[in-house]
Amino acid sequence: MRILLSGANGRMGHAVARQAAPGEIVCGVDPAGGDFPFPVYPDFSSVPEMPEKVDVIIDFSKADALHSLLEYAMKNQVACVLCATGYTDAQLEEIRRASETIPVFRSANMSIGVAVLRKLSTMAASLLGDDFDIEIVEAHHNQKMDAPSGTAIMLFDAVNQGCLGTKTRKDGRSGMGKREKQEVGMHALRGGTVAGEHAVCFFGPMERIELKHSAEDRSVFAVGAIRAARYMAGQKPGLYNMDQVIGL
């Protein structure tokens, strides 16, 4: 497999480079450059023709790099593993359109454990029903830009699926007034060097259930991204997520 690593010089780019097999990453893209055993180009328009075609792009850059990445991928018929967060609705539609011609993997979180947490959250919400209130709490390092996290939003979608689409998001909580029955509170904590923690809390009459995932090191996301890339290389056009990669 031949990987192009987008966002190579970021923290996650370095983590992917450490976890990849020797020679697996053939080049990178990052405006900041970087010291790697493979060439790093400032943008996708600077990437030269390869003697052998790149099989898959792993992208840990920023949402605003999406258009040029997809443009390169569709022109060269390269699979994509999109790991960035903070996409707009218009960008999500651009991803969907691209998936009609190339294989595209997208997940707000690359951890295998989070994929299982998402599945369990849907099941719990479906089984517990309206007798339980649901709240989602997430914590990340003090440099994270978006809140709530993409993973927290993904977990809201999971519990909402289990509740047949009856839930509404409430980002944060302040002021006067009782909690609405159908709302799911989303609470974001930011501080220190936390790699990522997510908890889905179900509050019922006289009992409480918490489903929680803690990432102890950001390399767990790099391992998941490489696993997804190996799965995506050679797939047919379509939109994929971690469910297919781990067989859920």
| Domain range annotation of the chain | 3-110+219-246, 112-214
At 15 the pLDDT is 95
Distance CA 109, CA 119 (A): 13
Indicate which residue of 140, 167, 198, 213 is catalytic. 140
Q: Is 3-110+219-246 a CATH 3.40.50.300 domain? A: no
Q: Which residues pair with 3 in a beta bridge?
A: 25, 56
Residue 229, token pair as written in the block = 């890339």
Which runs of E-coded beta strand occur in 146-206?
168-171, 183-190, 197-204
- Asked if omega into 37 is within 30° of 0 (cis), the reply is no
What are the C-alpha distances in Å from 60 to residues 171, 183, 203?
A: 25, 32, 35
Residues of the chain short of pLDDT 70, as ranges, are 51
Distance CA 131, CA 128 (A): 7
pLDDT tens string 92-113? 999 999 999 999 999 988 999 9
- Are 161 and 127 in contact by the 8 Å Cβ rule? The answer is no
- Are 96 and 117 in contact by the 8 Å Cβ rule? The answer is no
At 51 the pLDDT is 65
DSSP label at 48? P
Instruction: Respond yes or no: is residue 198 known to be catalytic.
Output: no
At 120 the pLDDT is 97
Indicate which residue of 62, 141, 144, 170 is catalytic. 144
Tokens 């022109």 appear where? 75
**CA triple 25-44-101, angle to 5 deg:** 85
Instruction: Respond yes or no: is residue 119 known to be catalytic.
Output: no
Start-end of H helices in the chain: 11-19, 66-76, 89-98, 112-128, 150-162, 219-232, 242-246
- 112-214 belongs to which CATH class? alpha beta
